[in-house]
Amino acid sequence: MPGKTVRIAREKRRHHGDRPVLLAIAGDSAAGKTTLTAGLVEALGPERCVSLCTDDYHRYDRRERRELPFTALHPQCNYIEIMEQHLQLLATGQPILKPVYDHTTGELTRPVLVEPNDFVIVEGLFPLYTKLARACFDVTVFVDPPEEIRREWKTSRDTRKRGYTPEQVRAELDLREPESEAYIRPQRAHADIVVRFAPIPGRVDPPGTPLSAELTLRPTVPHPDLSEVLAPGINRAMHLRLGRDTDGRPVDVLHAHGYAARADSTAVEQRIWSSLGESGPGAPDCLGRITSELRSEPLAITQLMLLYHLLCAAR
């Protein structure tokens, strides 16, 4: 039971106050993991955080992958055992020499030293893939946008930043689909929180309206008490309902509406922020930022929920 061994080792260190808090953000390529992470790192303070991407554990570079019968989404295409080992080391407060995959060139380059910090955020395709990897985290998230939105995001990003043509991205998405289904999407079942950014079905909002967020809150971690936040008068921005997960398990589902007025959302954000017992001027401005021009209150609320769990775990 190596997973249990890691948990025990972490609990021992927790008593000594010398282990970092680990957050997993799993999800398919271009599901929004990096955007979610960036705001968290800025809110917590980059000097207290380390964030890393499990894409660095690719076993083959882009040129080598062309000759292989599987894509980067296949566990065989990744050093899963080394990823697990590095997660265990970080989770118990030890440094790692992390491999580096350069998304711009598609090459594997010289590794870098990563020293654990108060918070370690691990995003990527595989952080929740094995039991041992999962044992390393305090909070686990799966980002699960509707496929058509993810395909749009991936096409946009990979053509702008990674030198692919739209046709190449579409072909790659089709090629990856069976492996997404087999290896990536099943990780959803192991997340404490599933995050889904999507338009509200049947609703037509003016262009530029941010996507709404649906957060599935599994009872595997204690979520903040949102009853006050959802008191009458401020629930135009969000609402909470009891639901059943895709597998029938009972869950809370939090809806944060993209169409809500910013003032309504901000009021909710301030309530969550205060419930954290944080003093200071209020929820950090960096939450909800998509680009320097674009922001989304549902994203800010999602990040605040994660911040809540990170800060609670650190206490």
Residues making contact with a copy of itself (CB under 8 A): 59, 61, 79, 81-82, 85, 89, 94-97, 99, 107-111, 113
Closer residue to a copy of itself (CB): 70 or 259: 70
- Asked if residue 268 lies in contact with residue 258, where contact means CB atoms within 8 angstroms, the answer is no
Closer residue to a copy of itself (CB): 100 or 149: 100
Instruction: Provide the minimum distance between the beta carbon of 108 and a copy of itself in the complex, in angstroms, as a whole number.
Output: 4
Closer residue to a copy of itself (CB): 72 or 217: 72
Instruction: Provide the minimum distance between the beta carbon of 104 and a copy of itself in the complex, in angstroms, as a whole number.
Output: 16
Sign for the pseudo-dihedral over CA of 261, 267, 270, 272: negative
How many Cα atoms are found within 13 Å in the side-chain-facing hemisphere of 34? 9
Instruction: Provide the minimum distance between the beta carbon of 226 and a copy of itself in the complex, in angstroms, as a whole number.
Output: 43
8 C-beta neighbours (distance < 10 Å), count: 12
Closer residue to a copy of itself (CB): 33 or 58: 58
Instruction: Provide the minimum distance between the beta carbon of 15 and a copy of itself in the complex, in angstroms, as a whole number.
Output: 18
How many Cα atoms are found within 13 Å in the side-chain-facing hemisphere of 144? 20
Instruction: Provide the minimum distance between the beta carbon of 48 and a copy of itself in the complex, in angstroms, as a whole number.
Output: 21
**Which residue has tokens 């990040």?**
303
Closer residue to a copy of itself (CB): 81 or 174: 81
Residue type, 217: L
Instruction: Provide the minimum distance between the beta carbon of 80 and a copy of itself in the complex, in angstroms, as a whole number.
Output: 11
Read off φ and ψ for residue 38, nearest 5 degrees: -55, -45
Closer residue to a copy of itself (CB): 43 or 133: 133
